[in-house]
Amino acid sequence: MIFRKETYAHALARGARRLKVSPTAQLDARVLLSEASGLDRAQLIAADREAVPEAVLTRYAELLRRRREGEPVAYITGRQEFYGRPFAVNPSVLIPRPESEMLVEAALAAHPQRVLDLGTGSGCLLLSALSELPRAEGVGTDVSREALSTAERNRTALRLDGRARFELLSFADTPLSMGTELFDVILANPPYIAEGDEQAAGAARFEPHSALFSGEDGLEAHREVAQVIARLLHPSGSAFIEIGYDQGESAEAIYKEALPGRSVLTKKDHAGYPRMVAVTP
């Protein structure tokens, strides 16, 4: 129901109640009201007791409906913040998640000149790293044309057109395309969910299936990524790969087998879960 004299404070409270199934109902409602009205958080607070225009209430009701049906807020607004920067997102790419920032942090600590991002999606890993490394350049690969279009849009928004390029390549085809090119850092957030995993069903409704699922054991993409690293990582370089929270031992074993002579260690995130394999000289 839409109330013609509803204030912004009332609209926000009503939206939070409608989204009570979400663990972030209050935040979701605020973001969606901001999207519907064009007002940022400070402006919403300042307009707390003002009446909401009918057109804004109509738009807000539609956004709340989409969220109640499970659509992620990032897809509704078309953007998601990652490593302090806004990235355009849509259902052709995974929504950047905070745990993936540890790959960027690891890349920055390695001070690379050339970076390869496998399965780049929105480009958030590569473009975040290059934004912090003004002398570095890099390549992002993906099998989705739509994903690469999104990555290119983000590249332009971050003014990195001259330092990042994107190529339509599978993991298997990447070494063939790169030829003798070697990289100081290789990043990858490959699909790592096992087919049929019921816990991932919610995300699979909206996010791209090919970026989530990887064979019956969830490790198929890791086996392919390991071979790319073996071919394209500079002898003094490092690779950082995101893994599932329950893949610490299994993923580490894959990279150790494919990369003899290199150090392969699993790193934990801030919550204490193994979330990254680090390959170093």
Q: In this predicted model, what pLDDT tens digit does every residue of 152-206 receive, in sequence order?
A: 999 999 999 999 999 999 999 999 999 899 999 999 999 998 887 766 666 668 9
pLDDT of the residue at 3 = 46
Handedness of CA 33, 34, 36, 37 (dihedral sign): positive
**What pLDDT, on a 0 to 100 scale, did the predictor assign at position 199?**
63
Query: Which tens digits make up the pLDDT trace of 54-104?
Result: 999 999 999 999 999 999 999 999 999 999 999 999 999 999 999 999 999
pLDDT of 122 above 60: yes
90 is in an annotated binding site: no
Look at residue 198 in the predicted model and tell me its pLDDT.
63
Q: What is the pTM of this model?
A: 0.92
Residue 154 identity: N
**According to the annotation, is 123 in a ligand binding site?**
yes
Token pair belonging to 177: 């395309």
Looking at the predicted structure, is the pLDDT value of residue 1 above 50? Answer: no
Beta-bridge mates of residue 55: none
Task: Please tell me whether 192 is known to bind a ligand.
Answer: yes
DSSP 193: B
Residue 2 pLDDT class (50, 70, 90 cuts): very low
Q: Where are the domains of the chain?
A: 8-70, 91-280
Residue 36 scores a pLDDT above 70: yes
Whether the predicted pLDDT of 143 surpasses 60: yes
Residue 215 exposed, middle or buried by CB count within 10 Å (0-12, 13-18, 19+): middle
Mean pLDDT score of the chain: 94
- Establish whether 154 is an annotated binding residue: no
Distance CA 79, CA 146 (A): 16
Q: Is 142 annotated as a binding residue?
A: yes
Say what the pLDDT of residue 203 is: 62
| The predicted structure's pLDDT at residue 216 | 87
Residue 111 confidence (pLDDT) above 70: yes
Report which of residues 118 and 202 the model is more confident about.
118
Q: pLDDT value at position 182?
A: 97
Q: What are the tens digits of pLDDT across the range 176-191?
A: 999 899 999 999 999 9
In this structure, whether the domain defined by 91-280 belongs to CATH 3.40.50.300 is answered with no
184: nearest Cα among 220, 131, 130, 222: 130
**7 annotated as a binding-site residue:** no
Cα–Cα distance between 140 and 167 in angstroms, integer? Answer: 6
How far is C-alpha 68 from the geometric centre of its chain's CA atoms? 22
Q: Is 119 annotated as a binding residue?
A: yes
